[in-house]
Amino acid sequence: MINNKKVLVIGWDAADWNVINPLMDAGQMPALQKLVENGVVGNIATLYPPLSPMLWTSIATGKHADKHGILGFTEPDANNGGIRPVYGSSRKTRAIWNILHNQGLKSNVVGWWPSHPSEPINGVMVSNFFKMVGKANNRERPLTPGSVYPAELEEILHEFQVHPLEFTSAMIKPFVPDVEKLDPKEHHVPIEGIAKILAEASTVQAVSTWLMRNTEWDFMAVYFDAIDHFCHGFMKYHPPRLPQVSEEYFNIYNNVVSGAYILHDMMLERLLELAGEDTTVIILSDHGFYSNQFRSVALPKFNSAPAIEHSPYGVVCISGPGIKKDERVYGASLLDITPTILSIYGLPIGKDMDGKVLQSIFEEPVVNASINSWDQVEGDFGTIPEDAKEDPFAAAEALRQLVDLGYIEDPGEDKNKAMENCANDNSFNLALVYMFKGNYSAALPLLEEVYQSVPDSPLYSMALTETYLALKKFDETEKLLNKISQDEESGSPKLDILWGMLLGYKGEYSESLKHLNSALEKGGSFPGIYLELGRLHQKMERYDEAVEAFNRALDLDGENAQAYLGKGTCLLKKGRFEEAVDNLLSSAGLLYHFAPTHFFLGEALFKMKLYKESSEAFEVCLIMAPRQRMAHQWLVKIYSEYYLNKEKAEIHTKYLDNNMSGTITIVSGLPRSGTSLMMQMLHSGGAEVLTDEIRQADDSNPRGYWEYEPVKALARDSAWMHKADGKALKVIAQLLKFLPPEFYYKIIFMKRDIKEVLISQQKMLNKPTDIFPVALSKSFEKEIERVEAWAESQPNVDILFVNYPELIEDPKMQIIRVKDFLTQDLDSEKMMKVIDPELYRNRI
Amino acid sequence: MGKIIGDGTDLYIIENNQKVKLEIPPEGMIGLIAYGDLGIQAWRKAKKKVYDQKMKEQGAES
């Protein structure tokens, strides 16, 4: 039911707690401090790529960019040729204000990026083009047509358009105290830049306060880009001084960023005063901004390069009636804002929205209804009529600003080239969205296309390499990496990382390690290298080294969700379950929308016997990754045996029945532990086996090896596994962990005294048997322990240990065990006949 | 500091139930931006006053 609540959303592009907290501590942001004390605060995870028009549209729709269709700063301009700044009318889905319009609620929206041309909503919309007044000699510029809805407010609001030329040095002084002493020739660019940013912020604030004082509204959204713009221009001068920055410039500009935040706090105070205490206020940013050692002094030259200065966590603070006070919110994402606002109004959430309601912020639990999609609801949603006209002048002005900020290249005169570049960039951005969502198959054709179009773009080629890697297309990866390596003389750290990843996937661990160390030498320390090092050590099951690498990543970036995840999974493997849970929770708290974190959290909680909590974690995992079979398998196990819930167990069983690919019998063990014998027995007993007989019988195995050649490459390629469905397959112990999760496995694991195994192996390799390989023996013992632990943590695996000497000595009993285990009607007599005690040659 | 109110041309500070007109320097101050529409209007009025005065003086001189 719709209620009469009021919600004010204030967008501070690029705001970051790392800058805010010291200012609040110093009492320089009292308005925000008050809001923080009376509400919930936290990090808000950005999305990728972190480009503001895409992000603010995700905030306003609750959807990723593949659904909302805003794919960059610019878009091809079909009417005039060339490109134009991205328009709000290119959005493919309804925004929060459209939904509220449909529900009879009044909204004021000011400056949202992108929101031009203004939409005819119930209320007022002032587009992001309204504030752009250009540079000098243009003080009397007419209002951009279409920037204000309703048009009758154009004249009134035009009065509040503030021009940079209005700004005196007195207004610049809070940012640059010595502005009057500066040489205008040397400093006119940054000073004019400050005036321009201030003018635009003043316009947004003036329009917003006028609307708040003179209109009735239920929802108001105000967007400021000034912090982002100030940071791109002046973060390099923010204290502490970077060694690359001269003392002179540092002294002149070191106050600009702090000044920007203080100004925003002053503006916030006025907005809060006008909103009144009954209004729920949401302040948020779309991403953070590096203010530490990751700050950039000079940016590389490619479109969207400034985005590398954006850090992954923005700020969120929510305060108002029914909202908890002085608490933290964990795991918030930009995608959650629209669902949460709908929840505040008592409106249903669209099932097609990617975000969730931030339930934990409410004092009382809220019950959320849902509908399939607001886009399928008939009726008036206050959207732009198809024939809406654009203003080429305004578009050119906005485009100029993007060029000035370094977000896009100057399109110059060549309109066609600009259009082509823009189309490529937007395809690339869409591919990045798919990659962020883990949908590499969808990213692949887009990346192949843009790479073909611009083969010398390192951005495109690196992303394509990453995608090939993720899809385990190793040949393509290697080919592309070789090509990139040829093009680059010295090779970048990124290239070394990719080589390291490829070799790691291929199991060439020491070579992989060399490349990662080389990346460290070339690129210095950055978290990405340590993440890959950690992952490599993890693959090598060197968990202590992996934890150390993840810790190094965390030393450099204490908010690195992937590092916490890596550390958590290593600790899980080491059986340090409580620590694993702590780290996995830290990861989820930073980056909630990442299914693997919840999966491993579920596993760690299960090990701690916290079955209810474990089931909740797996359920969250399935919300994000509904086809994660292993999460379904875990839930069947938990609901059937530990935290009983027959109904839920049935739901997941049904899913698995419909989606599991089948059951495979695996015969495993260390080499020379009787695996070939077991394969023969199964075959003789009537079971179908998968073998290619490429490896011929020899003296060591006179009755054959019963192997299947592709198994050797199981770590890299398991696409053939369906051929083993319903059959028995021999897989050595070391490769079990690479079995793909879409099958159930019945594993018959052959056990034999390690000494016997080793002597048999030494003989087979024509090595002396009088020198016992102690280290190898320990390694094999450890392998068996690993298999036991692994099997225990695989919900799709049943394992039966068969002792080789017992099989030889009492075959009847062991055959009964095997038949029971496989629930197959095998011919015991025929199985028995295969066993030849004379072949048990290395008995100790 | 007391509450600031505006009437579209001037800003006032309310302290001890007294409404006192704020003197706005024509060169401006950052708080005017924060105050939004009323701040901008008051600032422009202050600038115009100085400008008009200057014009008047120039007129008298010529």
Please answer whether residues A722 and A661 qualify as being in contact, where contact means their C-beta atoms are separated by less than 8 angstroms: yes
- Residue A723 lies inside a defined structural domain of this protein: yes
Please answer whether residues B24 and A258 qualify as being in contact, where contact means their C-beta atoms are separated by less than 8 angstroms: no
On whether both A434 and A516 belong to a single domain, the answer is: yes
The CA distance from B22 to the nearest CA of chain A, in Å, is 17
CA–CA separation, A288 vs A228, rounded Å? Answer: 9
What letter does residue A756 receive in the DSSP assignment? Answer: H
pLDDT, tens digit (0-9, with 9 covering 90-100), for A486-503 = 876 556 788 888 899 999
- Residue A786 lies inside a defined structural domain of this protein: yes
Q: Which residues of A touch B29 (CB under 8 A)?
A: 170-171
pLDDT, tens digit (0-9, with 9 covering 90-100), for A461-486 = 999 999 999 998 999 999 999 988 88
Which positions ≥6 away from B52 have C-beta within 8 Å? none
- Residue A684 lies inside a defined structural domain of this protein: yes
Q: Looking at residue B4, what is its pLDDT? A: 76
Task: Report the mean per-residue pLDDT for chain B.
Answer: 84
Tracing tokens 């409404």 back to the chain, one arrives at B19
Residue after which a domain boundary falls, among A617, A640, A658: A658
On whether both A632 and A752 belong to a single domain, the answer is: no
Residue ranges of alpha helices (H) inside A660-728 are 675-685
pLDDT, tens digit (0-9, with 9 covering 90-100), for B27-36 = 989 999 999 9
DSSP assignment of A773-831, as one string?
-HHHHHHHHHHHHHHHHHHHT-TTEEEEEEEHHHHHH-HHHHHHHHHHHHT----HHHH
Checking if the pLDDT of A137 tops 60, the result is no
- Assign A238 to helix, strand or coil: coil
- Residue A302 lies inside a defined structural domain of this protein: yes
Q: Which of A110-114, A652-656, B9-13 has the highest mean pLDDT?
A: A110-114
The answer to whether the CB atoms of B28 and A206 lie below 8 A apart is no
- Residue A692 lies inside a defined structural domain of this protein: yes
A456: containing domain: 413-658
Residue after which a domain boundary falls, among A639, A658, A677: A658
CA–CA separation, A643 vs A628, rounded Å? Answer: 20
Strands (E), A356-481: 370-371
A265: closest CA among A129, A161, A361, A174? A174
A174: burial class by Cβ within 10 Å (0-12, 13-18, 19+)? buried
The percent of residues in chain A predicted with pLDDT above 70, rounded, is 92
> Average pLDDT in the A370-398 region?
76
Q: Which of B9, B14, B33 to mutate to test the interface with A (most CBs of A within 10 A)?
A: B33
Q: Which residues of A touch B27 (CB under 8 A)?
A: 168-171
Band (A346; pLDDT cuts 50, 70, 90): very high
Checking if the pLDDT of A71 tops 90, the result is yes
pTM over 0.90: no
pLDDT, tens digit (0-9, with 9 covering 90-100), for A690-704 = 998 777 777 767 777
pLDDT, tens digit (0-9, with 9 covering 90-100), for A188-244 = 889 999 999 999 999 999 999 999 999 999 999 999 999 999 999 999 999 999 999
Checking if the pLDDT of B43 tops 80, the result is yes
The answer to whether the CB atoms of A170 and B39 lie below 8 A apart is no
Q: Looking at residue A18, what is its pLDDT? A: 95
The answer to whether the CB atoms of A267 and B39 lie below 8 A apart is no
Checking if the pLDDT of A773 tops 90, the result is no
Domain count, chain B: 1
Q: What are the φ/ψ torsions at residue A293 (nearest 5 degrees)?
A: -70, -15
Residues in chain A whose Cβ is within 8 Å of chain B? 159-160, 162, 166-171, 174, 198, 201-202, 205-210, 213, 263, 266-267, 269-270
Q: Looking at residue A22, what is its pLDDT? A: 97
Lowest mean pLDDT among A174-183, A558-567, A785-794: A785-794
Comparing A310 with A398, the larger pLDDT belongs to A310
A93: closest CA among A68, A119, A127? A68
- Residue A431 lies inside a defined structural domain of this protein: yes
On whether both A147 and A251 belong to a single domain, the answer is: yes
On whether both A164 and A177 belong to a single domain, the answer is: yes
Q: Looking at residue B58, what is its pLDDT? A: 83
Q: At A827, which amino acid appears?
A: D
Band (A389; pLDDT cuts 50, 70, 90): very low
CATH number of the domain that residue A717 is part of: 3.40.50.300
On whether both A687 and A654 belong to a single domain, the answer is: no
B33: containing domain: 3-61
pLDDT, tens digit (0-9, with 9 covering 90-100), for A266-308 = 999 999 999 999 999 999 999 999 998 778 777 777 767 788 8
CA–CA separation, A720 vs A710, rounded Å? Answer: 8
Task: Report the mean per-residue pLDDT for chain A.
Answer: 89
On whether both A318 and A431 belong to a single domain, the answer is: no
A663: closest CA among A634, A633, A693? A633
H-run or E-run covering A7: strand A6-12
